[in-house]
Amino acid sequence: MSARKPYVRPMGGWWRRNPFFMRYMVREASAVFLAVYAVILLAGVYRLSQGAAAYEAWLAALRNPLAIVFHGIALLAVAYHAYTWWKVMPKTLPMLHVGGRRIPEITLSAVGWAAWLAASLIVYALVRGL
* Residue ranges binding another protein (CB under 8 A): 10-12, 15, 25, 28-29, 31-32, 34-35, 37-42, 44-46, 48-49, 52, 55-56, 59, 62-63, 67-68, 70-72, 74-75, 78-79, 81-82, 85-86, 112, 115-116, 119-120, 123-124, 127-129
* CB of 113 vs another protein, minimal distance in Å: 10
Q: What are the DSSP E strand ranges found in 1-130?
A: 97-98, 101-102
The radius of gyration of the chain's CA atoms, rounded to the nearest angstrom, is: 22
* CB of 102 vs another protein, minimal distance in Å: 23
Integer angstrom CA distances of residue 23 from 12, 45, 69, 80, 105: 17, 33, 22, 9, 20
Task: Return the number of the residue (82 or 103) whose C-beta is nearest another protein.
Answer: 82
d(CA 24, CA 18): 10
* CB of 11 vs another protein, minimal distance in Å: 4
